[in-house]
Amino acid sequence: MSKSKKEEPFDFKEAIESFLESKKAPAVAAKVVLAIIGLGGIVFVGAVAPGILKVSRGYKRSEKYSDKKIINAVYSLERRKFVKIIKRKSGKTEVKLTNKGNKRIKEFYLEFYFKSLKISKPKEWDGKWRVVIFDIPVDKNSAREAFRRKIKELGLYQFQRSVWIYPYNCEDEMLFVAEFFNVSQYLEIFIAEKMLHEKELKKHFGL
């Protein structure tokens, strides 16, 4: 049984772009505007309102909001210190995230990615089993139960209370879920070539 190598599973820029191009799942205007600014800031010449609208209308997510809502969202984010509007001497205006805004957008997109998380399945099984083991302390009971619910939702098979099995590569997804609940230090993932109760597992996963 070999230990699986852990890697960083989350690409914030990719998640933000996916969110902005999607018409699914409702979101308030402020989150949409924050996402657009989060891709690298907005720079334009002239008044704030026309400049913001020109950039925002390039994304599908902004289509459901009126011009007024988009503009109000920008100034609301500025008042709450999530973004900063900087007017340069050159005549250019820059709208960028503050440290507070950067932290908030990461929190939001972690939640967005978490809710839409799925494990992709290859066309053919490689014959190996992914064994997910965790030993989360009692004082983190709520996180432990939430972690257990999520991996069950993702399709893992509960072999024992804290031992779950899956036939396909799920390392990135497991690590992401564990990090989301801040319990990654209690997680271990192994790859097994053969399981004693393999017949039962194959039947469960339709292999």
Q: What is the biggest distance separating any 2 CA atoms in the chain, rounded to whole angstroms?
A: 72
Helices 141-153 & 171-180 angle (0-180, nearest 10): 150
Give the pLDDT confidence score for residue 18 in this predicted structure.
Answer: 61
Candidate from 59-63, 177-181, 185-189 with smallest mean pLDDT: 59-63
* pLDDT over 90, % of the chain: 20
CA-closest candidate to residue 95, choices 107, 87, 103: 87
Question: Per CATH, which fold does 119-205 belong to?
Answer: Alpha-Beta Plaits (3.30.70)
Q: What is the mean pLDDT of residues 146-158?
A: 91
Give the pLDDT confidence score for residue 156 in this predicted structure.
Answer: 93
Q: What is the residue-averaged pLDDT of the chain?
A: 79
Cα dist from 136 to 146, 154, 178, whole Å: 11, 19, 10
Q: What is the mean pLDDT of residues 139-164?
A: 90
pLDDT at 100 over 80: yes
Q: What does the H/E/C string look like for 128-193?
A: CEEEEEECCCHHHHHHHHHHHHHHHHCCCEEEECCEEEECCCCHHHHHHHHHHCCCHHHEEEEEEC
Listed by start position, the domains of the chain span 12-116, 119-205
- Report residue 49 as tokens: 């309102």
For 12-116, CATH number out of 3.40.50.720, 3.30.479.30, 3.40.109.10, 1.10.10.10 equals 1.10.10.10
pLDDT at 77 over 90: no
Indicate the pLDDT class of residue 125, thresholds 50, 70 and 90: very high
Helix (H), strand (E) at residue 198? helix 198-205
- DSSP letter at 119 equals -
Give CA–CA dist 149/42, Å, rounded: 40
Indicate the pLDDT class of residue 10, thresholds 50, 70 and 90: very low
pTM of the model: 0.58
pLDDT at 168 over 80: yes
Cα torsion 109, 113, 115, 120 to 10°: value is: 180
Give the pLDDT confidence score for residue 12 in this predicted structure.
Answer: 54
- Report residue 186 as tokens: 């209690």
* pLDDT over 70, % of the chain: 80
Same CATH topology for 12-116 and 119-205: the answer is no
Q: What is the mean pLDDT of residues 42-54?
A: 67
